Structure 1
Amino acid sequence: MAHQNYYAPTGGLPDQTQLLTDRAMFTDAYAVIPKGTMRDIVTSFLPFWEQTRLWVLSRPLSGFAETFSQYIMEVQPGGGSDTPETDPEAQGVLFVVEGSVTLTLAGQVHVLDTGGYAYIPPGSDWTLHNRSDAVARFHWVRKAYEAVPGLPAPDPIITNERDVAPTPMPGTEGRWATTRFADPNDLRHDMHVNIVTFEPGGVIPFAETHVMEHGLYVLEGKAVYRLNQDWVEVEAGDYMWLRAFCPQACYAGGPGRFRYLLYKDVNRHMPLKLSTR
């Protein structure tokens, strides 16, 4: 697979002449966070991380994401953390969109460059640093692991998108494919973070309405995306959150491919009591 170019925010602020009209939307069923909102003024910081800032794309919140959080991390050369995760129940996925980072997981050292993917099981011993001379940016998806008696936690996964063959969706003549980093039949996993690719003109040909909560970050291209009853234009750098059962569909607009990083919760019973989180 050819080297990929992924959109990553760089911050900054627009000048005082820019119009305030934007595509940002926050509803009970979905949210759209356009790339233009990811500025210096909305960054956050974390304990035990040096020379690092982040954009929080989603977090557990009443009326918003219920099962996960998602960050875009920006680590300067020499930055990183020896204590990146402070929640022992949290599992994580890292996906590098710019530069490279050095991940040490259970004593093993891995260099993740652009397109690098890591699944980190709950309770893991890991560190992450930017040993390069350029800024590194990566997505960090976190979810509290839902353990099941008799099923162990998943094993770590370290790979790169270029080493994982996409799986075409049946009946689409290759216009719609999914790069799956975890085996969908492995019931140890309670979340998947995949990459979905549409060739120009490819579509989701019906309104998907299902139980998975979604986080979608557009890596490249543009499309018109159906969110509940609305058609919304999205492009590389935009983020969408979809509540469970929110109808969704899309038309890939071209001229290039439309691709997004997709989170969804999977493989677990539906809780019969409302969450207090």
Structure 2
Amino acid sequence: MSDRTYWATHGGHPPQTDLLTDRALFREAYAVIPRGTQRDIVASVLPFWEHTRLWVLARPLTGFAETFSQYMVEVSPGGGSDRPEEDPDAEAVLFLLEGTLDLTLDGQSHRLTDGGYAFLAPGADWSVHNHEESPARFMWIRKRYQEVAGLDRPTSFVTSDRDIEPTPMPDTEGRWATTRFVDPADLRHDMHVTVVTFQPGGIIPFAETHVMEHGLYVLEGQAVYRLNEDWVEVQEGDFMWLRAFCPQACYAGGPKPFRYLLYKDVNRHAPLTLGGHARG
């Protein structure tokens, strides 16, 4: 579907004439990091990455995300890394928003363009480089893999949002659909990263309240999103974090489809000790 678009920050810095008023929110049950906060002054860099900067949208932190980290990454021409990940137990998803990125994954070469999706299994051998003349920008979602005795680790793969047709939610007449890159019944996977699409006027018609932790990055469009007891306006480029059991709902009110990249932890027992993992 060639009409899909993906918003990416270009950094920069607002003029001194701008007002401070913004939509940024940090609450006990959720956070909203609007696109206007992703400026040069809050960018980060990583070891062993050349000509690359990133914005950290979520990281494990007391009172914040517990299961994952999420970055908006910008790789300038000639940039990249042959040593991108230092944690051998980290699994990841790369989702390309803009530009072109050359990925080498377990000895195989892949060229990612906008909408490109790569699942990197824990322990995967991978590297990325930008060989083009304009920056490449992508989402990088990381999670520490939770082993289960008797289950194999998942395997890496590369695909694209443009090559997968969204699956409509039942009884929604196609107004609410999910693009799934992994079979939900594949218990090797302990996280899902999907694309959720609402057509204008589409809704989540009840307050979802469940055990999954969420990271939502808005790819396209506008909506009013219910976060705990608040209704918050969000648009493409905004990021939302929802802790487990935070009530959520949505009303897609803009003229375009409302689409977001969704992270959630799945398919594992709830830990019986705070900060630990349950035994199988």
TM-score range, shorter chain: over 0.9
Contact 1:31 1:241 in 2 (8 A): yes
Displacement after TM superposition at 1:113 (Å): 0.6
Contact 1:97–1:138, Cα closer than 8 Å, also in 2: yes
Name the Cα RMSD after superposition. Answer: 1.0
SS at match of 2:245: coil
In the alignment, structure 2 segments of 5+ residues that lack a partner are none
Q: Is the CA contact (8 Å cut-off) linking 2:91 and 2:120 kept in structure 1?
A: yes
Contact 1:3-1:162 within 8 A present in 2 as well:
no
Q: In structure 1, how many angstroms separate the alpha carbons of the residues matched to 2:15 and 2:254?
A: 30
Q: How does 1:25-174 map to 2 (within 5 A)?
A: 25-174=25-174
Cα offset, 1:269, TM superposition: 0.3
- Three-state SS of the structure 2 residue aligned to 1:70 is strand
Distance 2:40 2:156 in 1: 33
Displaced runs of 4 or more, over 4 A: none
Specify the code of the residue in structure 1 equivalent to 2:200: P
Residue segments in structure 1 that go unaligned for 5+ positions in a row: none
Give, as a single letter, the amino acid of the residue that structure 1 aligns with 2:12.
G
Equivalent residue of 2:57, what SS?
Answer: strand
Normalised to the residue count of structure 1, the TM-score between the two structures is 0.99
Matched AA of 1:236: E
Query: SS in structure 2 opposite 1:218?
Result: strand
Instruction: Determine helix, strand or coil for the equivalent of 2:140.
Output: strand
Q: What is the deviation of 1:192? A: 0.4
Between stretches 124-133 and 31-40, larger displacement belongs to 124-133
Distance 2:181 2:57 in 1: 22
In structure 2, what is the equivalent of residue 192 of structure 1?
192
Residue 155 (structure 1) shift: 1.1
Distance (whole Å) between structure 2 residues aligned to residue 4 and residue 52 of structure 1: 26
Q: How does 1:258-273 map to 2 (within 5 A)?
A: 258-273=258-273
- After superposition, the C-alpha distances for 1:159-214 in whole angstroms (9 at most, x for unaligned) are 01111111000000000000001111100000000000000000000000000000
The residue number in structure 2 matching 1:244 is 244
d(CA) in 2 for partners of 1:176 and 1:157? 26
Note if contact 2:197-2:258 (Cα within 8 Å) is conserved in structure 1.
Answer: yes
Matching of residue 232 in structure 1 with residue 232 in structure 2: yes
How many angstroms does 1:4 deviate by? Answer: 2.2
Give yes or no for contact 1:49–1:79 (8 Å, CA) kept in 2: yes
- CA offsets 1:215-257 (integer angstroms, 9 cap, x no match): 0000010000000000000000100000000000010012110
1:7–1:97 CA contact under 8 A, matched in 2: yes
Q: Secondary structure at the match of 2:36?
A: helix
Tell me the amino acid that sits aligned with residue 7 of structure 1: W
Question: Which residue of 2 is the match for residue 176 of structure 1?
Answer: 176
CA displacement, residues 96-129 of structure 1 (integer Å, 9 cap, x when unaligned): 0000101101100000111000000001111110
Cα distance in 2 between the residues matched to 1:154 and 1:239: 27
**How many residues end up aligned between the 2 structures?**
277
Deviates more, 1:149-158 or 1:28-37: 149-158
Structure 1: how far apart are the matches of 2:124 and 2:4? 29
SS at match of 1:36: helix
Whether the aligned pair in 2 keeps the contact of 1:6 and 1:220 (CA below 8 Å) is yes
CA contact (8 A) 2:124 2:156 kept: no
The one-letter code of the counterpart of 1:75 is V
SS state of the match for residue 62, structure 1? Answer: coil
